[in-house]
Amino acid sequence: MAQSSKPSGNMLRRLSDPRLWILVASLAIFLPLLVYAYMGIFSRYQADDYCYAWNGTSRTILDAQTTWYKTDSSRYAATFIMTLSDRLGRWTVPILPTLVLGLWLTGTCWLFMRLQKMLNLDFPPMAAFLLAELLIYFILMLAPNLYQILFWRAGMVIYLLPLVLLTYLGVFLLSQASNPAKKWRPLVAGLAVLFFFFNGGFSETIATIQIGMLALALVVLLFLAKRDTRQWALILVGCAWLGSLLAMATLYFSPATRMRQGLLGPAPDLVNLIRMTLTNAFLYMYISLDEMAFQFVILLLSAMLVGYVLYAARLTESTLRPTGLVSALFLLPVIAFLWIVCVTAPSAFGESAYPEGRVQLDALYIIVTMVMGAGLILGVSLGLLHQRSRELAPNWLQAACLLLLVGMSLFPMYSTRKIMKDLPEYRQRAAAWDARDASIRASAAHGRLDVTVTAYTSVAGLMEMGPESSMWVNGCAARYYGVRSITAETP
């Protein structure tokens, strides 16, 4: 009996090894992310892309930037990136979604590794990778208009790319605040101003988020940072905050913003602005947690299982204390609400409206992070109960939790079937666009300057070329291709 029970005990120990099952779960969630990246190769110019492409290819980079800033768009970072893309060629459009997703996953994993090191969580790199995958997948799955923020270049550059770059800016602040060389401090402080100024130039929303996030960081550092690092950390974060404030000022005082405000009308008074901003933030949190409750439960339990299995099998004393964990758990919703206020404020100020779908991406990022953070705190807290009682979690319990984690990681693969159904349509639209593009270029090469093409049905609320050559999309496309007019007719 003893010999027969030994192999089963060894099997349980192997099954209860968290590294194995976290790797399996990571691979399971990585597959849906590959699907999103693959579908990105069918991205093509749409709507505003033609206007950006015409401006970016017909002028120098400096002239293109100043033209946009003075006439139509104050978002200098977004116009700069799109001008670079257009000058490199339209071949960049299909690879941008894959590139941005890769940068996002890498940066988020890197940020989580820095955070776990700072908090002494002692998570293995694969756990940070799994958590990064969970965060990105649930944001993409729950995005109110996925097409506009991932597969449409203008929307992706304005709304998704700055969130991706913000993860790298977080890594920059954490690494430089902890142990910088004193002789490089002036350079690092200057880079903080420059980096956050550039990233804030993608949109008013990301600039407001940076201002709110860094203001909170300054308060936390002022009261909680260690004395030997407090001064430099305050200077560094203060420089980043200054860069964000300069970005907001550059956006707000641009001629393009003044022209747009003249069309939209005056901003609401201060009382109505505060009321509208707070109300919209509350409504977003309430509606999101209500309508996406099932998905958030899956995310919460997945993060909780990761935290639990990594701590339940340890008897080494952790530096984490209940006071900090409980405080973080209760502060998470408050912090999330304040940051969502930063998302709703620009829409309330500029349009007196609730944020549109693609703007809600920033708020979704915050609320998904909140839910995942709460799950981690709960899981780590349960694991610490074993440490405090000096009781290792039994192998069967660890194995059961890990199998449950793997089971939950299959949910992304199941739900990705919905977007897979759209794959033939994406492929067909890309082939049709390529054929139309070749036809217009051939007409221009032969001197036929009034071109008629096939009209396509608009997708995801993006305007397509229409039957009137005076439509703005037709006009931008005509300038981009170098013809006099383009008319799109339904076959």
Mean pLDDT taken over the chain: 85
Stronger pLDDT, 135 or 57, i.e. the higher one? 135
**pLDDT for residue 126:** 87
Please tell me the distance from the alpha carbon of residue 207 to that of residue 82, in angstroms, as a whole number.
Answer: 19
* C-alpha to C-alpha distances, 359 to 99, 167, 204, 258, 266, nearest whole angstrom: 21, 18, 10, 21, 21
Q: What is the pLDDT of residues 170-210, one digit of tens each?
A: 999 998 887 766 778 888 899 999 999 999 999 999 999 99
Q: How long, in residues, is the chain?
A: 491
Does the pLDDT of residue 277 top 60, yes or no?
Answer: yes
- Using pLDDT thresholds of 50, 70 and 90, give the confidence band for residue 318: low
Q: What average pLDDT score do residues 446-463 get?
A: 86
**pLDDT for residue 185:** 83
453: part of which helix (H) or strand (E)? strand 450-454
Does the pLDDT of residue 5 top 60, yes or no?
Answer: no
Q: What average pLDDT score do residues 126-144 get?
A: 92
**pLDDT for residue 64:** 85
Q: What average pLDDT score do residues 127-135 get?
A: 92
**pLDDT for residue 83:** 92
242: part of which helix (H) or strand (E)? helix 227-252
Pairing state between β 450-454 and 485-489:
parallel
Burial class (CB within 10 angstroms; exposed 0-12, middle 13-18, buried 19+) of 311: buried
**pLDDT for residue 227:** 74
**pLDDT for residue 177:** 81
Does the pLDDT of residue 414 top 80, yes or no?
Answer: no
Which tokens belong to 410? 């299959």
Stronger pLDDT, 63 or 314, i.e. the higher one? 63
Stronger pLDDT, 241 or 229, i.e. the higher one? 241
Which tokens belong to 437? 């593009």
Which tokens belong to 154? 């203008």
**pLDDT for residue 392:** 67
Is the pTM above the cut of 0.85? yes
Does the pLDDT of residue 66 top 80, yes or no?
Answer: yes
**pLDDT for residue 15:** 54
Question: Is-contact 372 303, C-beta < 8 A?
Answer: yes
**pLDDT for residue 4:** 47
Orientation angle between helical segments 293-312 and 125-142, nearest 10 degrees: 180
Please tell me the distance from the alpha carbon of residue 380 to that of residue 325, in angstroms, as a whole number.
Answer: 9
SS3 at position 452:
strand
